[in-house]
Structure 1
Amino acid sequence: MVDIRGLVERVGPTLLRPVVVPEETGGVGDVVIAETEDPGEIGTADVVLGVGVTSRADALELLRECGAREATAVLLKPPVSCEESVVAAAADAGLALVEVRRGTAWAQLVWLLRGALAGTDAGPAGGSQQQVGSAGLGDLFRVADAVAEVVDAPVTIEDAHSQVLAYSARQDVTDPARVSTIMGRRQPDDVLAKFRARGTFRQLSRGGSAIYVPEQPDGTLPRLVVPIRMGGELLGSMWAVVTGEVSEQRASAFAETAALVALQLLRWRVITDSERQRSARLVRSLLEGSEGWRAAANELAVGAEPHRVVAIDVRASDGTDEGHRLAMWEWITRGIGRGPMVAEVGGVLYAVVPDRSGTGGWPALREALLGHIREMDAADPRPLVAVGTAAPLAELPVSRGRADEVLALLRTGMVERDIAVHEQLWHTLVLTRMAGAASDAGVDALGPLARLRDNDHSQGTEYLRTLHSWLRHPGDPRAASGELNVHPNTFRYRMKRVSALLGADLDDADVRSALLVQLLAERWNPHG
């Protein structure tokens, strides 16, 4: 088990600086986030991140709490991390105090710390939902260290989507692009664009030898890049930050390590897939409300607080739905602490997330999803995201049903939003439910409305729309004609034709109400 010194060394001096480290330190347990108003579940040997701790008083209180619970270390940002009283309190409590460099995002730091901890364990990291995604990465971190020795340069191992899976401990040669890549868990978009412009990824997709990428005009250091393949499939790539061109012998040695890394990537994929499937079975029990939902909740260590079900539908025009769903699944389960619990049912991803503010809650996931959708390439299929109401664990099937109801609106185009939330669409849902009930009752077959429908189909007129606008804007032909983008006189002429075809008394309020119900049923019934 790694101690705090080893953990700080692995993450590197770019992000962390030890301030106080006791002479005797035990192994690190877990990484815990403690915000100002909530110290969290701090346990023995934990590394505690003081997110939002900016005052000396809050820092001293956190140190006192961590000391009482026998934590290993507290991570704080400057200037509070340098306060004399804070440093003294850490030493008195027997705690390690580590300074987090300014500008470091807590989200990325949590991921890096947990990735570094996973790198000390060759096997799956337990198997809880919290650890899905980091399981099996231990060997990859060790392999990254070994490859770095071969090429004599810092190395990152990335998957086929440029997501960082592991990186070497050495940090002697670096640049902002490498720091951003490790912190953001993937190469930044601007860096990727530059490598694409140079044809680097095109070479990766076709070749098998090391590719040298010269220094960029913005100061990005040269890279030596090697594709990782198995059976013709491109599994990922390795990126070494070098100071200049390397010898052919060293480049060849670097390329030869790809076979070993490919085996580890396949092993990691098997472990990750197994964990994902196990977790998904438990999540499906919650979504379906089966008899074993309580046992599933216990095994997933789900809190008793209300949760929301988020339905995500990814459909690709080229038929690669499964690949895009998997990419979304992998993306959504990364994050701070406990990520959303995810399962696939009927080609739809369902994420279960606590309905609370702060780390790991629904608002945080919402912002992450919005950012992810807006940053997607134009060629990528945009996911449909529908959100059910908050519900106790025992009523998650209700939240799922409401998410499905909203998803139906998105699929039919009745609603166009990046993220559609059930409570925000109550008026639309009233109309769709009423339309569904009216259609089931056969109201569309009653009365003279069929005459307008037949005329529209045979003559290409728009009398149904005209009548609907007239009913929506009673006594206001200008507003009704504006809705149809026609001249008021054209609208009046159409209404004369509508009245003649209907042969109904449009001055009768009950007739108008009945016609409006029929038109709404025709427009808002998603199954009609």
Structure 2
Amino acid sequence: MLAVTDLVGTLSGLLTLAVPHEGAEVDDLTIAEPAHGVVGQPGDLVLGVGVDGPQGALTVVADAAAAGAGGVVLRRSLGRRRDVRSRARRDGIALVELADQASWAHLVWLLRGVLDRAAVGPGRREDAPVQDDLFALADAAAGLVDAPVTIEDAQSRVLAYSSRQDLTDPARVSTIVGRRVPDEVLATLRAQGVFRRLARSSEPVYVPASGGTKPRLVVPVRAGGEWLGSIWVVVEQRPPAALVAELVQTSAVVALHLLRLRAQSDLSRRVAADRLRGVLSGSTAGADEWLPPGPWRVAALGAAGDAGRTLDVWESVLRRQAWNSPLIAELDGRVYAVVRDTDDAAPGSWPWLCAVVERARREGLDLVVRAGRPAHQPAALERSRSEAQEADRVTPSAEAVARHEDVWAQVTIARAAAALPEEALGPLRLLQEHDAVHATDHLRTLAAWLDHPGAPSAAARAIHVHPNTMRYRMNRVADLAGLDLDDPAVRLAVRLQLAALEGAPTA
């Protein structure tokens, strides 16, 4: 986190602190879009790029303060208004003025540079030296071609960038702010076949101007035939072959740094996964030091296809959707995540995870998530994990999202049935034996009848038979077993026994 006062002091030629707030700190940027509910989250410096009137300024200040943002930046003409400053003081948020003649794009890359370099400063992260080297390589590549440069990994996450990003287009500005390429830009590049060429070839790719974006030269970064990332250069036209050759040589050096960064990231992920597995198994020592503020939910994560790749699929999805350090781990053959049980849709929260699943399913990726009840203490996370398992067992696979409290009735039946032996009692034993000897299906018929009381047609559809067949079978059940299905205790006992027998072989 960087103090707002220090940040303003660093960029004193552009920024002025209009309303200070004690302890105000920031570690990220958000461009405010009040119409779409984008007003920042805790630790964000909210940029009022599109705010052009007093009412809009008051709204952004109020909404950012309510979201717990660290500060708001407005044009000086708005930041000096008495009502705007009064609102910032009343709501308890730092207000920063941007000089009226200054460029927002210029400010964005300056702020991102300060924040990113602060985040990888000495003693802050194990990969700080590698990150610093990548920033230096980005500047060196920019010096070669006299153009802005970003270095990205194979998932289009921005790892480093050069100076002079203010000379680029809106797509690059959005990339720098969000540390990843915007989805609409990715879709365009995929349609052009850019990523397919990067993954298969070592040859640089020239991407012509499209949709208001400037041309790009993309140099793949590879090591041992593996595609690790790429160098993106915003150009006005295709560079000369000699400059392209120098960038290709630079990519070899970048590859070494990306390999180091990946090794360090893999180690960090293993340590984080071990800690998470421990707390999900009941070992909570030191959990308060690394868990985000509670309450939390434990979510069981699933994906169609190769079960062995569920962890990889989910980690890729969560990171691409801006959860940079997802709390995700594999335990006893299942993949779990710990998310914050909050009302906001910030990355790493339960509402955000539900939205990620729905978005992925619309794009053809069959993901499911089942969550336990909220845990207000780390010690309760083990219980939430068990409940996530229960929810998964009773929820149909076609349903994308389920919470334990949404399927409490099915869970209650499953718990009761689990206490019964997988052996029919009373009249059900006669039906079970008859099914086994005569290849009939009376137990399944009886279950459908009980599940659809007073609706024989619906019961028949559930087991794919004609209603007359259903009625005939139920008459046979009455003759064989003599069950009094008008007695509620008998109905409950029969249904619980049938639930316990569902895992047993049937005709």
Smaller-chain TM-score bracket: 0.7 to 0.9
Task: Report the alpha carbon displacement of residue 97 of structure 1 after superposing the two structures with TM.
Answer: 1.8
Q: SS state of the match for residue 164, structure 2?
A: coil
The answer as to whether partners of 2:150 and 2:158 remain within 8 angstroms in 1 is yes
The answer as to whether partners of 2:109 and 2:173 remain within 8 angstroms in 1 is no
Correspondence for 2:475 among 466, 484, 496: 496
Does the alignment pair 1:464 with 2:443? yes
Segments of 5+ residues of structure 1 without an aligned counterpart are 10-16, 23-27, 67-72, 102-108
Corresponding residue number in structure 2 for 1:219 = 212
Q: Distance in 1 between matches of 2:127 and 2:402?
A: 28
Corresponding residue number in structure 1 for 2:274 = 281
Task: Report the alpha carbon displacement of residue 458 of structure 1 after superposing the two structures with TM.
Answer: 7.2
Corresponding residue number in structure 1 for 2:117 = 119
CA separation of 1:76/1:100 partners in 2, compared to 1, >3 Å: closer, same or farther?
A: farther
Kindly provide the CA deviation profile for residues 118-139 of structure 1, in whole angstroms up to 9, marking residues without a partner as x: 3356666625xxxx99895333
CA separation of 1:316/1:100 partners in 2, compared to 1, >3 Å: closer, same or farther?
A: farther
The answer as to whether partners of 1:409 and 1:415 remain within 8 angstroms in 2 is no
CA separation of 1:476/1:321 partners in 2, compared to 1, >3 Å: closer, same or farther?
A: closer
Does the alignment pair 1:153 with 2:130? no
What fraction of aligned residue pairs are identical, expressed as a percent?
Answer: 38
Q: Would you say how many aligned residue pairs link Structure 1 and Structure 2?
A: 471
CA separation of 1:116/1:455 partners in 2, compared to 1, >3 Å: closer, same or farther?
A: farther
Give the TM-score normalised by structure 2: 0.75
Alignment map for 1:76-225 (pairs within 5 Å): 76-77=73-74, 81-85=78-82, 97-99=96-98, 116-120=114-118, 126-127=124-125, 137-216=131-210, 218-225=211-218
Kindly provide the CA deviation profile for residues 487-507 of structure 1, in whole angstroms up to 9, marking residues without a partner as x: 433322222233334355556
Q: Distance in 1 between matches of 2:247 and 2:382?
A: 52
CA separation of 1:377/1:140 partners in 2, compared to 1, >3 Å: closer, same or farther?
A: farther
Does the alignment pair 1:243 with 2:243? no
Task: Report the alpha carbon displacement of residue 225 of structure 1 after superposing the two structures with TM.
Answer: 0.9
Q: SS state of the match for residue 20, structure 1?
A: strand
Kindly provide the CA deviation profile for residues 293-314 of structure 1, in whole angstroms up to 9, marking residues without a partner as x: 34332x32654x4332223244
CA separation of 1:480/1:287 partners in 2, compared to 1, >3 Å: closer, same or farther?
A: closer
Does the alignment pair 1:20 with 2:10? no
Letter paired with 2:16 = V
Deviates more, 1:152-161 or 1:234-243: 152-161
Task: Report the alpha carbon displacement of residue 466 of structure 1 after superposing the two structures with TM.
Answer: 2.2
Alignment map for 1:508-519 (pairs within 5 Å): 510-519=489-498
Kindly provide the CA deviation profile for residues 254-293 of structure 1, in whole angstroms up to 9, marking residues without a partner as x: 2211111112212222332333333333334433332xx3
Greater relative CO (CA pairs within 8 A, separation 6+): 1
Task: Report the alpha carbon displacement of residue 478 of structure 1 after superposing the two structures with TM.
Answer: 4.4
Q: Distance in 2 between matches of 1:226 and 1:516?
A: 64
Q: Distance in 1 between matches of 2:371 and 2:403?
A: 6
Q: Distance in 2 between matches of 1:460 and 1:115?
A: 73
Task: Report the alpha carbon displacement of residue 114 of structure 1 after superposing the two structures with TM.
Answer: 6.7
Q: Distance in 2 between matches of 1:376 and 1:110?
A: 33
Q: SS state of the match for residue 417, structure 1?
A: coil
Q: SS state of the match for residue 215, structure 1?
A: coil
Q: Distance in 2 between matches of 1:507 and 1:133?
A: 70
CA separation of 1:300/1:354 partners in 2, compared to 1, >3 Å: closer, same or farther?
A: same
Corresponding residue number in structure 2 for 1:230 = 223
The answer as to whether partners of 1:228 and 1:236 remain within 8 angstroms in 2 is yes
Segments of 5+ residues of structure 2 without an aligned counterpart are 19-23, 33-39, 89-93, 101-106
Q: Distance in 2 between matches of 1:252 and 1:433?
A: 67
Q: SS state of the match for residue 337, structure 2?
A: strand
Q: SS state of the match for residue 389, structure 2?
A: helix
Kindly provide the CA deviation profile for residues 154-200 of structure 1, in whole angstroms up to 9, marking residues without a partner as x: 22222112222222232254233333433444334443333333332
Letter paired with 1:238 = I
Does the alignment pair 1:350 with 2:353? no
CA separation of 1:380/1:125 partners in 2, compared to 1, >3 Å: closer, same or farther?
A: farther
Kindly provide the CA deviation profile for residues 7-52 of structure 1, in whole angstroms up to 9, marking residues without a partner as x: 769xxxxxxx945269xxxxx97538999xxxx999xxx9855899
Task: Report the alpha carbon displacement of residue 426 of structure 1 after superposing the two structures with TM.
Answer: 0.8
The answer as to whether partners of 2:296 and 2:338 remain within 8 angstroms in 1 is yes
Corresponding residue number in structure 2 for 1:391 = 376
Corresponding residue number in structure 2 for 1:334 = 323
Q: Distance in 1 between matches of 2:61 and 2:391?
A: 44
Letter paired with 1:213 = V
